[in-house]
């Protein structure tokens, strides 16, 4: 009997009834066999797979919670609402309160609309930006992830050139490239999108210059176009406000997702008064968008955001992990680049090959030892990670470096 019996059995069944066995970011083609595929339960910083193995998780479902899985405060709020109703013919009163609270917390926001996925919010922003002045072009940074709809999915399979007819690309943090993109569309700019910092798969993360953020704002103003800041991944991870509001660069629209429902499905589009009339004109909806349970979870999430030191604690844990891994990498002779904020670390090996043998090798060895790290996607810490978790993770990564050295040595001598 092998330890991974249940995982393999499930995957075999899945291949018969689910195309490719799995799709999207958890598709088997992106992971090595060291990674678990199906999970039984989750609690705080921990995941248990279907074979009963526990992991200290640094993906937290790709970023959908700030305080760890099944936070008891959020679970209680959600359960109390679930006892009263979730999807109803219209929204609950919570929708109004939630809009009031978000607009109270986020500097540029005068109104809020709610949906389910980040992709809903980024698509809604596009429609509103076009309704604003009847212009068509949407300017996106090359390679920036804003969702998986036809206009922005990173994989072009099944997407036509016409789907992208009004999407124009420029280089992130490159004012000249952005200015050239604006010039090329001759006054037809509806919106310019920006993530607060650069956080793409396979690349080092970095913050843009303040001049760049200010240039995006200036160009939007000159063009009478809307500035959309996509906070879906970063929401409340670096700040209790919109990250560009903190810079003094106030967006017209911002998209929120992943964290705001405390693990429950909810995303939001926030906007300033400038975009209110356009937002009131468009037709946007979804069968589950008005559900009350995720909104109850979101209200509790915002309360914890406002009233606890979750953010400061999470940074402390992120720094502890980063420093520990940096020391290990140097000692074992690897050049590991840890980029971005320590609460959303990206870890990439210098000199790695195309298939990321070092990255996949090292994270695979860590996963085998109970620390779920990712070879090329940014990871996420949560306030549920404790110092003991970090120390235990560092034991796993220490052993993973030792194992990686052996793998690398064997490869070199082969």
Residues making contact with ligand PLP (CB under 6 A): 117-119, 122, 145-147, 195, 230, 232-233, 257
DSSP code per residue over 335-392 = -EEEES-TTS-EEEETT--TT-HHHHHHHHHHHHTTEE--SSS-----TT--HHHHHH
Q: Are 71 and 298 in contact (CB under 8 A)?
A: no
Least CB distance to ligand PLP at residue 188 (A):
24
Cβ closest to ligand PLP, residue 67 vs residue 145: 145
Least CB distance to ligand PLP at residue 405 (A):
34
In Å, how far are 197, 332, 363 from 234, measured between CA atoms? Answer: 9, 32, 23
β partners of residue 227: 192
Cβ closest to ligand PLP, residue 259 vs residue 272: 259
In Å, how far are 9, 41, 120, 392, 413 from 50, measured between CA atoms? Answer: 11, 8, 31, 22, 37
| Cα 409 to chain centroid, rounded | 35
Cβ closest to ligand PLP, residue 217 vs residue 233: 233
Least CB distance to ligand PLP at residue 78 (A):
18
Residue 328 to residue 401: CA distance in whole angstroms: 8
Cβ closest to ligand PLP, residue 328 vs residue 378: 378
Least CB distance to ligand PLP at residue 381 (A):
16
Least CB distance to ligand PLP at residue 339 (A):
16
Q: Are 105 and 219 in contact (CB under 8 A)?
A: no
Least CB distance to ligand PLP at residue 264 (A):
12
Residue 291 to residue 215: CA distance in whole angstroms: 39
HSE-CB at 165 with a 13 A cutoff on CA atoms is: 4
Report residue 229 as tokens.
Answer: 């800041």
Least CB distance to ligand PLP at residue 172 (A):
12
Least CB distance to ligand PLP at residue 145 (A):
5
Which one, of 64, 46, 66, lies nearest residue 56 by Cα?
46
Q: Which residue has the closest beta carbon to ligand PLP? A: 118
Q: Which residue has the tokens 């200010």?
A: 214
DSSP code per residue over 62-86 = HHT-SS-BT-HHHHHHHHHHHTT-S
Cβ closest to ligand PLP, residue 137 vs residue 377: 377
Cβ closest to ligand PLP, residue 36 vs residue 118: 118
Least CB distance to ligand PLP at residue 117 (A):
3
Cβ closest to ligand PLP, residue 259 vs residue 397: 259
Cβ closest to ligand PLP, residue 129 vs residue 232: 232
Q: Are 365 and 296 in contact (CB under 8 A)?
A: no
Give CA angle at 115 (111, 119), nearest 5°.
110
Cβ closest to ligand PLP, residue 25 vs residue 406: 25
Cβ closest to ligand PLP, residue 66 vs residue 232: 232
Least CB distance to ligand PLP at residue 358 (A):
25
Cβ closest to ligand PLP, residue 117 vs residue 338: 117
Least CB distance to ligand PLP at residue 75 (A):
21
Residue 8 to residue 49: CA distance in whole angstroms: 12
Burial class (CB in 10 A: 0-12, 13-18, 19+), 314: buried
């Amino acid at each position: 009997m092998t330890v991974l019996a249940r995982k393999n059995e499930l995957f075999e069944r899945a291949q018969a009834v689910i195309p490719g066995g799995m799709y999207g970011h958890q598709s088997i083609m992106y992971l090595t066999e060291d990674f678990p595929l199906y999970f039984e339960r989750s609690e705080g910083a921990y995941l248990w797979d279907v074979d009963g193995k526990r992991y200290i998780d640094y993906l937290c479902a790709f970023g959908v919670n700030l305080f760890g899985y099944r936070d008891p405060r959020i679970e209680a709020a959600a359960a109390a609402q679930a006892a009263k109703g979730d999807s109803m013919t219209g929204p609950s009163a919570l929708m109004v309160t939630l809009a009031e609270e978000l607009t109270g917390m986020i500097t540029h926001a005068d109104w809020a609309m709610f949906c389910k996925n980040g992709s809903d919010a980024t698509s809604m922003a596009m429609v509103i930006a076009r309704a604003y002045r009847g212009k068509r072009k949407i300017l996106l940074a090359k390679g920036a992830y804003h969702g998986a709809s036809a206009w922005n999915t990173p994989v072009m399979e099944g997407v036509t050139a016409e789907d992208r007819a009004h999407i124009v690309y420029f280089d992130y943090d490159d004012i000249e490239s952005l200015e050239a993109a604006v010039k090329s569309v001759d006054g037809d700019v509806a919106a310019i999108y920006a993530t607060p910092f650069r956080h793409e798969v396979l690349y080092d993360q970095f913050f843009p210059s303040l001049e760049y953020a200010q240039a995006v704002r200036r160009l939007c103003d000159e063009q009478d176009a809307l500035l959309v800041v996509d906070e879906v991944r970063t929401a409340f991870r670096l700040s209790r406000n919109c990250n560009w509001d903190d810079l003094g660069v106030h967006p017209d629209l911002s998209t929120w997702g992943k964290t705001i429902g405390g693990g429950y499905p909810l995303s939001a589009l926030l906007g300033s008064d400038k975009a209110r009339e356009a937002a009131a004109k468009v037709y946007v909806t979804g069968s589950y968008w008005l559900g009350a349970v995720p909104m109850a979870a979101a209200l509790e999430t915002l309360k914890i955001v406002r009233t606890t030191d979750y953010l400061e604690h999470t940074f402390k844990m992120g720094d502890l992990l980063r420093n520990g891994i940096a020391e290990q990498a140097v000692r074992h002779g690897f050049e590991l680049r840890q980029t971005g904020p320590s609460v959303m670390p990206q870890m990439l090996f210098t000199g790695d090959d195309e298939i990321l043998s070092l990255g996949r090798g090292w994270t695979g060895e860590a996963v085998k030892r109970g620390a779920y790290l990712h070879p090329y996607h940014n990871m996420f810490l949560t306030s549920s990670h404790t110092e003991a978790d970090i120390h235990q993770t560092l034991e796993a990564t220490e052993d993973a470096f030792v194992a990686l050295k052996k793998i690398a040595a064997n490869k070199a001598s082969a």
